[in-house]
Structure 1
């Protein structure tokens, strides 16, 4: 039984950025390397998070919505060189953040605080089939990242008005993995490791627009290493179950520029815990043209609801629904939608809660077009 993975959720996985899996956006998906033949994919996603809380200093009045909508774009190309060897090139936006606290009277603790992170990555992969059951894959990943952070409000004390601008930097990491397959059962289990990538970002620090250092400095930042375990298996005619476990070591992402570190005893602008995400779903082919899937996901809570104001949620649960239309033998299009319930948390500075965030959510949609040649 030959069956294509229907987890459209993977298209919009991580599309709720700082409140699901730290800074993850694309989950560094490499699924195209397991396709057959030659294939090109183009994906587009949009996320609309709603994250608002109550500011303790204002007697429990609203902070306003602190998370902005954003788009993600990715593309991938796979080419089969022989029965044993195939290669792929993947372009994505692996990490990101769009947090902006409205500067309003009801949000004195953090009003005006902002965090923006943008990234770009290209991954070159190769997969070698040892035999019909076992394969190995790996390659290099080039990544660029840049950011800007502004701290405002009484919650930051004397650092209110601080701004750090981090210029774009490019660096290289690697990918390693292996897979076991039984094609007659549409079964595959794949394990993939993505290395951390170390960046040295040229940094300019100011307070209320005035420089606080003699000139730009360099800030070392590591994006997290991760481990993905993915599986799928046919359970009945035209029916597939699939799932994944993803662990990302976000606690290694320390951002401690020179002046900020000198004023805080070496503290980090970020405070993101390691994350583990689980997903389970089922896919069904209804006809030669139409397939569908539904998936449920869960991200573990950190066990401490005190979180960074730049990431004011703790854990998440979601449901996603997808559909795929095989327009021709070569061309297909997939669409998906996800609803995410975000975990409650308290935004804190110096381990003191300043604002409470509860009953928040996000809606994500995605479209993926594929062409076989």
Structure 2
């Protein structure tokens, strides 16, 4: 009886981690673990952004003689990588490694209009944040229609 309770707890306890995984926004899928045989995939994404606008307090800046209120491009180009590698050493056992960059931002903003031939630094912001995530999955398939999966972050 104690053995069955222990096995039941081992199956239920990892569910607490499943709700925390919902915080990731990259959309990294675990479908690689369910592919037949050995499997590998790589996804590369290049984001060519152009986010711009106008600066605040234009009246105060105009008093200095500045006429250009454009912020220019606020966000740099971004590269995003996802990869999955699945090995199946036994028909019922699978092992997968997933690589992911769930969060990233690269903002480079400098508003320095030229006044009397000299750049006048008014507003600056440099923000760069990059994260990487590697997930290891182990799957056991007791029957054709059931997969039991355990993972480690």
Shorter-chain TM range is: 0.5 to 0.7
Equivalent position of 1:40 in the other structure: 40
Matches within 5 A, 1:98-177: 98-105=106-113, 111-141=123-153
**Length-normalised TM-score, structure 1:** 0.28
Is the CA contact 1:52–1:63 (under 8 Å) kept in the aligned structure 2? yes
**Length-normalised TM-score, structure 2:** 0.62
Per-residue CA shift, 1:145-166, capped at 9, x if unaligned?
xxxxxxxxxxxxxxxxxxxxxx
Helix, strand or coil for the counterpart of 1:67? Answer: coil
Higher strand share goes to which structure? Answer: 1
Number of paired residues?
Answer: 117
Equivalent position of 1:90 in the other structure: 98
Is the CA contact 1:23–1:97 (under 8 Å) kept in the aligned structure 2? no
Equivalent position of 1:54 in the other structure: 54
Query: For residues 24 and 145 of structure 2, what CA distance do their matches in structure 1 show?
Result: 35
Per-residue CA shift, 1:44-94, capped at 9, x if unaligned?
221112211222312593222111101123332101133332110122222
Equivalent position of 2:13 in the other structure: none
Helix, strand or coil for the counterpart of 1:88? Answer: strand
Task: For CA contacts below 8 A with separation 6 or more, give which structure has more relative contact order.
Answer: 2
Helix, strand or coil for the counterpart of 2:57? Answer: helix
Per-residue CA shift, 1:274-322, capped at 9, x if unaligned?
xxxxxxxxxxxxxxxxxxxxxxxxxxxxxxxxxxxxxxxxxxxxxxxxx
Is the CA contact 2:28–2:82 (under 8 Å) kept in the aligned structure 1? no
Is the CA contact 1:85–1:129 (under 8 Å) kept in the aligned structure 2? yes
Equivalent position of 1:30 in the other structure: 30
